[in-house]
């Protein structure tokens, strides 16, 4: 019985030792991953707006002499709307590829230095220029989605033959009031009947009738700033720049007889009348003052 009690006492002492040892041991919790916090952090990152690189020229938006590209724009159309050559626009904006303009991009559409202050032999603009090839200019409009570049094939056609033959003596022109660049003195570009007059919304110029192949004449001396079929709705088109104020446009031609950068004389045959991008043979003729269409009756002589 004594042994039994001693044995029980020994077991109790061992258990007590174990309890004391356990109390002296530092307990640590197993690491727990807070998955809820990680998921929330990932969701916040996904919802945060990505940093967007500003489009070229954004700091000039709304300033005089600058133009913000809209859906459907091409460099040719912007040139017509602002009274400039697309080649000048490409140079002033240092566009290596004139097809790569984006909705929201801001382009310089006026030279940095007044043309009157620069000798005629110099390139007005005062900016670093880079050469642009007309054969690489696309007629596709800018896509409506931002950051989308045009990709259609080039539609600028250089005519196979260039005619420098002047037509018969030009009719007497109606002179605008003397003084400044308004003193151009335009003549009628074709001899056919007037089919449709000027309307600011529906018809931005005159539609003149005739037969396919009838001569189309330069309404005033100037320089060819565009010759091709790259502007939707105009067919085979020629644009002449007469000075820093006036452009004239000649649309729907059957054939083009001049090329870009060529100088032409008033009354020179520059095209043959046709029906490209039109439902009938006619010449659509526009006079644009600083890019804005104006009623030709203000500048053409009476018939």
Tens of pLDDT, residue by residue over 109-126, are 998 754 444 444 444 444
Comparison of pLDDT for 234 and 6, the residue scoring more: 234
pLDDT of residue 166: 36
Residue 135 has pLDDT above 80, yes or no: no
What tokens appear for 223 in the block? 């320089």
pLDDT of residue 52: 65
Residue-wise pLDDT for 251-275, tens only, equals: 999 999 999 999 999 999 999 999 9
Integer distance in angstroms from the first to the last C-alpha of the chain?
Answer: 148
* 127 neighbors 94 (Cβ within 8 angstroms): yes
**DSSP single-letter state for residue 301:** P
Residue 21 has pLDDT above 70, yes or no: no
Residue 133 has pLDDT above 60, yes or no: no
Query: Domain locations in the chain?
Result: 64-156, 157-303
Total-model pTM: 0.63
Beta 269-272 vs 215-217: how paired, if at all?
antiparallel
**Tokens 């990680």, residue located:** 38
CATH of 64-156, one of 3.10.350.10, 3.20.20.70, 3.30.590.20, 3.40.1110.10: 3.10.350.10
- Looking at the domain that runs over 157-303, which CATH code has it been given? 2.70.70.10
Tell me the H-state helices in the chain: 2-24, 35-47, 75-82, 86-92
Beta bridge partners of 263: 223
Comparison of pLDDT for 112 and 39, the residue scoring more: 112
Mean pLDDT for the stretch of residues 147-170: 38
């Amino acid at each position: 019985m004594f042994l039994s009690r001693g044995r029980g006492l020994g077991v109790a002492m061992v258990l007590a030792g174990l309890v004391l040892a356990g109390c002296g041991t530092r307990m640590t919790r197993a690491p727990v991953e807070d998955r809820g916090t990680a998921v929330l952090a990932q969701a916040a990152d996904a919802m945060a707006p990505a940093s967007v690189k500003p489009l070229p020229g954004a700091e000039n938006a709304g300033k005089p002499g600058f133009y913000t590209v809209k859906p459907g724009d091409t460099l040719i159309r912007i040139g017509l709307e602002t009274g400039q050559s697309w080649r000048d626009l490409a140079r002033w904006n240092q566009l290596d590829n004139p097809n790569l303009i984006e909705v929201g991009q801001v382009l310089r559409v006026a030279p940095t230095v007044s043309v009157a202050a620069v000798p005629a032999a110099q390139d007005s603009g005062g900016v670093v220029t880079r050469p642009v090839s007309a054969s690489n200019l696309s007629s596709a409009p800018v896509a409506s989605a931002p950051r989308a570049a045009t990709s259609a094939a080039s539609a600028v056609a250089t005519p196979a033959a260039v005619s420098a033959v002047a037509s018969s003596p030009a009719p007497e022109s109606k002179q605008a009031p003397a003084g400044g660049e308004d003193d151009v003195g335009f003549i009628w570009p074709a001899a056919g009947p007037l089919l449709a007059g000027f309307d600011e919304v529906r018809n931005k110029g005159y539609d003149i009738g005739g037969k396919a192949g009838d001569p189309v004449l330069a309404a005033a001396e100037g320089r060819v700033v565009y010759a091709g079929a790259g502007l939707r709705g105009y067919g085979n088109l020629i644009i002449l720049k007469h000075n820093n104020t006036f452009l004239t446009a000649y649309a729907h031609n059957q054939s083009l007889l001049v090329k870009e950068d060529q100088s032409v004389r008033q009354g020179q045959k520059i095209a043959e009348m046709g029906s490209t991008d039109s439902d009938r043979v006619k010449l659509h003729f526009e006079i644009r003052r600083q890019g804005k269409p104006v009623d030709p009756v203000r500048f053409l002589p009476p018939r």
